[in-house]
Amino acid sequence: MLAKLLPAAFCLFLFMPSAQAFEPVTAKVTENVYAIVGESGDRTPENQGLNVTSGFIITDAGVVLVDSAATEGSAKMLETTVKTVTDKPIIDVINIGVQDHHWMGNSYFLEQKIPVIALAHTVENQHQQETMNRMRLSSGIGGKPEDLKVEYASETYDGGEKNLTIGGVEMSLLYLGDAHFPGDAVLWLPKEKVVFTGDIVFNDRMLGVLPDISNVKDWQATFKKVAELKPEHVIPGHGNPSDWMTAQKNTGDYLDWLVAEVSKSLEEMEDLGDTVKRLSADERFNFLQMHEALNGRNIHQTYLQLEAE
């Protein structure tokens, strides 16, 4: 009887649906600019660290990819996503972020002899954060930190601004100040009024103030400098592309709230525990994903930073 059941059971196993591999979502922003939206949650073996938003620009000469994802696997996901939109090849990659999932997929494109461009200041900070980036990424996707292949941009530019024209598209690579990570930059397309903000803007989910890395008041000031560009389209570091009003609501208003409310607590000599408890009960930013996990931590870090001033 068992022998008769085994073939049927084996056939049933063959036709069982397998776990779906992660696929990023493409969002058209303008006629030639697209966002690639990764997962909003944590790094996982399935997404290979692609829990970030990147994007690309289709030019007359080919495609400019903004950010390279976190690993060879997630870099391939970006490449595959580009191919669903255009047959043009990727001719340049631009790094604007310092955290692992923005640039640690560089090696995949460099092996294809595709130049990777970045500001020198961004690369300096990538070097400084490399050990932590390796640990963070490997803990999410598995494996050993030392086994991750890390390569830096092949073309770097000194100073806070580099103007480029690639395939007829004008763009400016700008360092406007520190944000989620020191050294984070933006890519500004003046004619399209599009800004790739990297982790200066978080849409849909709450931003994270990281201990010893993120400075809330610097981030607040940098966000306001991005606003001075007067962008009409925002491709954030996390979440869906949007207009500037949405970016202001999701990131700018929250940074302003953190600084203003924690400053009041310090002026009134409210202790840290009471401040975290009281402000965590404020529900005005509960519409953002991950607020339960991050809001209290952000208040805590803001308090320590402002208290130390």
pLDDT tens string 222-233: 999 999 999 999
> Is there a domain that residue 271 lies in?
no
Query: What pLDDT, on a 0 to 100 scale, did the predictor assign at position 11?
Result: 37
User: Is the predicted pLDDT of residue 187 greater than 60, yes or no?
Assistant: yes
Q: Is residue 58 part of a domain?
A: yes
Residue 137's pLDDT is what? Answer: 93
- Asked if the structure places residue 249 within a domain, the reply is no
Strand partners, 55: 35, 66
Euclidean distance between CA atoms 216 and 259, whole angstroms:
7
**Separation of alpha carbons 134 and 56, rounded Å:** 25
- At residue 234, what are phi and psi to the nearest 5 degrees? -120, 125
pLDDT-based confidence at 71, cuts 50/70/90? Answer: very high
Share of the chain above pLDDT 90, in %: 92
pLDDT in tens, 266-309: 999 999 999 999 999 999 999 999 999 999 999 999 999 999 99
Number of separate domains in the chain: 1
Q: Is the pLDDT of residue 16 over 70?
A: no
Whether 279 maps to a domain, the answer reads no
Q: How far apart are CA 306 and CA 309, in angstroms?
A: 5
Answer yes or no: is 8 within a domain: no
What pLDDT was estimated at residue 19? Answer: 41
pLDDT the model gives residue 40: 84
Predicted confidence band at 247 (pLDDT cuts at 50, 70, 90)? very high
pLDDT at 219 over 70: yes
pLDDT of 4 over the 90 cut = no
Does a structural domain hold residue 200?
Answer: yes
Asked, for residue 253, whether it belongs to a domain, the answer is: no
Instruction: Report the percentage of the chain scoring pLDDT > 70.
Output: 93
pLDDT tens digits, residue range 46-58?
Answer: 999 999 999 999 9
Mean pLDDT within 53-77: 97
* pLDDT category of residue 9 using cuts at 50, 70 and 90: very low
Judge if pTM exceeds 0.95. no
Predicted local distance difference test score (pLDDT) of residue 101: 95
**Distance set, CA 56 to CA 29, 90, 241, 243, 246 (Å):** 10, 9, 13, 17, 21
- Residue count of the chain, please give it: 309
Provide the residue range defining the domain that includes 100. 24-243
pLDDT digits 0-9 by tens, 100-154: 999 999 999 999 999 999 999 999 999 999 999 999 999 999 999 999 999 999 9
* Predicted pLDDT of residue 158: 97
CATH code of 66's domain:
3.60.15.10
- Domain-embedded: residue 79: yes
- Residue 41 pLDDT class (50, 70, 90 cuts): confident
Q: Is the pLDDT at 1 greater than 70, yes or no?
A: no
Residue-wise DSSP of the chain: -HHHHHHHHHHHHHTSPPPPPP-PEEEE-SSSEEEEE--SS---TTTTT--SEEEEEE-SS-EEEE---SSHHHHHHHHHHHHTT-SSPEEEEE----SHHHHTTHHHHHTTT--EEEEHHHHHHHHHTHHHHHHHHHHHH-S-GGGS-----SEEE-SSEEEEEETTEEEEEE----SSSTT--EEEETTTTEEEEEEEEE-SB-----TTT--HHHHHHHHHHHHTT--SEEEEEES--B-HHHHIIIIIHHHHHHHHHHHHHHHTT--HHHHHHHHHT--TTTTSBTHHHHHHHHHHHHHHHHHT-
